[in-house]
């Protein structure tokens, strides 16, 4: 069957839930369709389509087979009245197991809870939803992946809780000879679940949100030595990542093609879509 786009809609259900910390919840999502979910890893973006209270998904073309290009289904979704369209949120899978039709998605339960946090906190095994993600039948297109380090051997990764799964995935691709600096932001040390999982050769600094991640990046930058073998990856709150990106570009003169940055969420409200 001709597939017009790199992503497909996967119908899944919650298989299990594990509370990793007071505010980190891992949901294992399962379904036979996930056997075609591409295991590209790193910072691969997916869309989680949250069901309405009755478990349904509105009709806006996403569930057509094959899944249409987003210029079709996303436009139709946007055209629906807000109260009649399902909430979409962006995540990075914490693990992908196509051989058994499973993915893990880690939800950071924000306070106050937004729609995704509220849904995840209440989700139980058997609950159904839809995930829009990469389809291995389309081959590796690179869509939805920002991690593009080229031949770099020195790395700076900066992330808040929403980007912990991507950091875990990325570090897992880097060998012990890579020079890796990780700066993690957390609102509460009880939810800082990542630093103890990273390899011993990775230098990790944890910063509380009320201190601010930019101050830690500036401290790191005071000893920065430029070069083409360097690459930075930044992800988290949109305003914070933009501010750090500006510092790297304007004050450290790091070329734009040596920095990737993603806004997973926005202070005061969701990112569009």
- State the CATH number of the domain containing residue 84: 2.40.30.10
Range 83-92 average pLDDT? 95
Q: How confident is the model at residue 152 (pLDDT cuts 50, 70, 90)?
A: very high
- At 211-260, the pLDDT tens digits run 889 999 999 999 998 899 999 999 999 999 999 999 999 999 999 999 99
User: Which residues contact residue 98 at a Cβ distance below 8 angstroms, ignoring those fewer than 6 apart?
Assistant: 34, 35, 36, 37, 38, 39, 136
**Do 169 and 254 share a domain, yes or no?**
yes
**Do 115 and 11 share a domain, yes or no?**
yes
Q: How confident is the model at residue 30 (pLDDT cuts 50, 70, 90)?
A: very high
Distances from the Cα of 208 to the Cαs of 158, 185, 267, in angstroms? 13, 6, 16
81 vs 237: CA distance, rounded Å: 27
Instruction: Judge whether residue 37 has pLDDT over 90.
Output: yes
Kindly report the pTM of this predicted structure: 0.93
200 vs 215: CA distance, rounded Å: 24
**Do 115 and 159 share a domain, yes or no?**
no
Number of domains in the chain: 2
Instruction: Judge whether residue 268 has pLDDT over 90.
Output: no
Domain that holds residue 160: 154-265
Range 112-137 average pLDDT? 95
What is the 8-class DSSP label of residue 135?
B
Check if the beta carbon of residue 78 is closer than 8 Å to that of residue 67.
no
């Amino acid at each position: 069957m001709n597939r017009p786009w790199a992503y497909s809609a996967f119908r899944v259900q919650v298989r299990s839930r594990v509370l990793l910390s007071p505010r980190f919840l891992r949901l294992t999502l399962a379904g036979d369709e996930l056997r075609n979910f591409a295991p590209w890893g790193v910072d691969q973006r997916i869309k989680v389509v949250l069901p309405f209270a009755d478990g349904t998904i509105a009709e806006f073309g996403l569930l057509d087979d094959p899944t249409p290009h987003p210029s079709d289904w996303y436009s139709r979704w946007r055209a629906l009245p807000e109260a009649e369209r399902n909430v979409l949120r962006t995540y990075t899978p914490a693990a992908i197991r196509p051989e058994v039709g499973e993915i893990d998605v880690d939800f950071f339960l924000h306070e106050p809870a937004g729609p995704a946090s509220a849904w995840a906190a209440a989700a139980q095994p058997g609950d159904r939803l839809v995930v829009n993600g990469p389809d291995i039948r389309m081959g590796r297109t690179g869509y939805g992946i920002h991690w593009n380090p080229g031949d770099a051997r020195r790395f700076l990764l900066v992330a808040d809780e929403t980007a912990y799964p991507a950091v875990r995935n990325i570090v897992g691709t880097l060998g012990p000879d890579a020079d890796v600096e990780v700066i993690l932001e957390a609102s509460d040390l009880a939810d800082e679940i990542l630093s103890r999982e990273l390899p011993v050769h990775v230098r990790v600094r944890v910063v509380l949100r009320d201190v601010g991640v930019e101050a830690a990046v500036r401290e790191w930058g005071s000893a920065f030595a430029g070069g083409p073998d360097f690459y930075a990856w930044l992800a988290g709150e949109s305003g914070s990542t933009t501010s750090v990106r500006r510092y790297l570009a304007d004050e450290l003169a790091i070329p734009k093609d040596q920095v990737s940055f993603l806004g997973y969420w926005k202070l005061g409200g969701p990112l569009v879509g």
